[in-house]
Structure formats: C-alpha cells, structure tokens
Amino acid sequence: MSRAATTRNEQAAVDKYLLPREVRVATVRRHPAVLIPVSARAVGGLLVAAVLQVTVLRSQPIVAAVVWAVWAVLLGHMLWKTVNWAVDYFVITSERILLTSGVFTRSVAMMPLTKVTDMSFHRSFAGRLLGYGEFVVESAGQDQALRTIDHIPYPEQLYLVICGRIFKDAAPNEQGTPVSPEPEDTFGTEMIESETETFTFDDSYPLDDTATFPADDSPMDDDPSRPDPF
C-alpha cells in the first residue's frame, strides 16, 4: 500500500469524529515500540518451544503439542495487539486532543484544549533511544477521559504543537511582539452614562458653530417681541 493511500485511510478513520468547524492539525499512531513486549514474548516462546521440541519433549508428543499451543496463544496475542495498534490514532485538532482505540469496540477519549491547565511529557531512557515519550494532561475537572498518553512519537514536536494551540493568543507575530486583540471600532460614537439613562451621541455629524441658544435665565416666553401664536 502506498503512503498516499495510507494517509487517506488515516484521514477517513479520524475525520468522522471531528466537528464541522474543527481542523485536524496532526494525526499519528503510537510508536511501534508499544509492540515490543508482546513481540518479545512471542519470539521467546518460539525459541523455548523449539528447544524443548528437539531435547526434552522429543519422546513426548502430547506435551510438545501443549507447548506449541501455548506459543500459538502468544502469537495470536501479538497479532491482535498489532491490529489494534494499526487502527489507534492520537489526534490534535484546532479544538481538542483525541485518542481513538479499539477494533470491534471503538472508543474515543478526548480533552478540549480550553480545559487543559497543564501538560508535560516524560521520556524514559528507552524512549530517548527509540524516539517516543509520554504525555500527561491535567485539567480543572476531577474526572478526565484523557490523562496519560504513552508511546507518542515525536514528543517534543507534538508538545510544541499542542502548546501552540493552547496559547495561540500569546504567540508572537513576525516582528517578535505578542499579538494583542484589536479594540472594537466605535465609529465616532461616544457613550455617556447618567444615573438613570444611557445616551448615545454621534460626533460624526458636528453641530453648526453658528447656532445660538437662549440663555437659561432668559426664557423665550418672556420676550415681548415674539408674536403670540394664539
């Protein structure tokens, strides 16, 4: 199978769990090192069964058959873990982090990025040699569906990707200065609040400077030159 076909299969397996507004940032499988324990048991069982077959159990075919049956169980367990590994994905989106798992019974654990309060990764000596790490995600809630994610490939790169999504508002621009939200444009409208009401004045249309108003101490009703409308 080509790399392009594999990528399309990964997208189809993950995109059905995403919301319409979500953007998939990164999709990876767990590191193949997760299969080392079961593979070691299967290979070790094969060696032990072969040695017993040609030495101690040469004249005991029934016992030898039992030994080979035990090895077949170990081999089947390794194959089952391999199939599970092939369909499990760790996904980073613009809104969440997800971990999908299971072949017949599918499970999706997720954590919204807005709920993440702390995240760290740990790399053991074997992880540094083979190239995997473990993520530990903390949130404000008590019950977390997604807390520890082990055998993550490219841990430093994915850690920075997640931190960049969490703290995207504080990311520097091209000049190296933090990006601050722009103030809302008021379009020349000034708000004046009183004890009882809020008045809005639009200063985009200034008053005529030649307009005159009578003084408060000279009411217009007392002007004798004003004609009586009645």
Cα(116)–Cα(107) distance, integer angstroms:
21
- Decide if 155 contacts 93 (C-beta within 8 A): no
Task: Tell me the three-class secondary structure of 212-228, residue by residue.
Answer: CCCCCCCCHHHCCCCCC
Cα(116)–Cα(139) distance, integer angstroms:
5
**In this predicted structure, which of 22-31, 34-43, 214-223 has the lowest mean pLDDT?**
214-223
pLDDT digits (tens, 9 = 90+) for 109-161: 888 888 888 888 899 999 999 999 999 888 876 667 788 899 999 999 999 99
Position 65 scores a pLDDT of 93
pLDDT digits (tens, 9 = 90+) for 66-77: 999 999 999 999
| pLDDT above 90: percentage of residues in the chain | 37
Position 134 scores a pLDDT of 93
Ordered by where they begin, the domains of the chain are: 24-170 (2.30.29.30)
Which contiguous run of DSSP H or E holds residue 159? helix 155-166
Count Cβ atoms within 10 A of the Cβ of residue 135 and give its class: 0-12 exposed, 13-18 middle, 19 or more buried. buried
Model confidence at 211, pLDDT cuts 50, 70, 90, reads very low
- Decide if 125 contacts 104 (C-beta within 8 A): no
pLDDT digits (tens, 9 = 90+) for 51-62: 998 888 888 889
Position 34 scores a pLDDT of 94
DSSP-derived secondary structure for 67-100:
HHHHHHHHHHHHHHHHHHHHH-EEEEESSEEEEE
pLDDT digits (tens, 9 = 90+) for 97-109: 999 988 888 888 8
Cα(170)–Cα(187) distance, integer angstroms:
28
Side by side, the strands of the sheet bearing 24-28 are 24-28, 89-93, 96-101, 107-112
Give me the residue label for tokens 């997208």. 11
Strands 148-153 and 132-139: what pairing?
antiparallel
